[in-house]
Homo-oligomer: A and B are copies of this chain.
Amino acid sequence: MTGLKKVVQLVHQDFEDLELWYPVLRLREEGIAVQLAGERAGEVYRGKYGVPAQADVSFTAINPADYDGLLVPGGWAPDKLRRFPEVLALVRHMDGAGKPIGQICHAGWVLASAGILAGRTVTSTPGIRDDLVNAGAVWVDEEAVVDRNLVSGRRPPDLPMYMRAFIDVLQAAK
């Protein structure tokens, strides 16, 4: 369908189960195509609690230009995700193109390693507040924070407002 938006959700071991799945299911409800990108296509990753999520594509196989938005889950997956140069290049591409990036909880680590946080206003779990501030971000304690194309949330109970904000930014994007 022409004009259908397409979003890529990053995945790796020990993602926060609801922080990965609520956004994926919510966007699908909205008629938005979502692909999961992991280290290896077809691999099944497990959330912190064990909910499975299979990667549709690998980090190296995707073309960032094919996507209208990016989601980074929380949990411990960001500690792994930030180590892949392809992931950091994807984050920089999306931000450079002004495309929406959603990040929640510990996901901000990936944006810090991508070097895109200087002067940006974000939230996160309080646990990584210092890392985001040291990366140049302005940190605020709110359930859903929008700074142009960057949308952030703190923790699972923020998911409703975080995803409402992400969808609004995605639908308003060119």
In the complex, the answer to whether A51 meets B18 with C-beta atoms within 8 Å is: yes
Each complex incorporates copies of this chain amounting to: 2
From B17, B22, B50, A25 is in contact (CB under 8 Å) with B22
How many A residues have CB within 8 A of the partner chain?
18
A171 to chain B, nearest CB (A): 15
Contact partner, A51, options B17, B159, B163, Cβ 8 Å: B17
* Residues of chain A from 92 to 112 with CB closer than 8 A to chain B in the complex: none
Q: Mark A105-148, 1 if CB is under 8 A from B, else 0.
A: 00000000000000000000000000000000000000000000
Contact of A160 among B28, B156, B163 (CB under 8 A): B28
The 4 closest A-B pairs by CB, nearest first: A29-B160, A49-B50, A28-B160, A49-B49
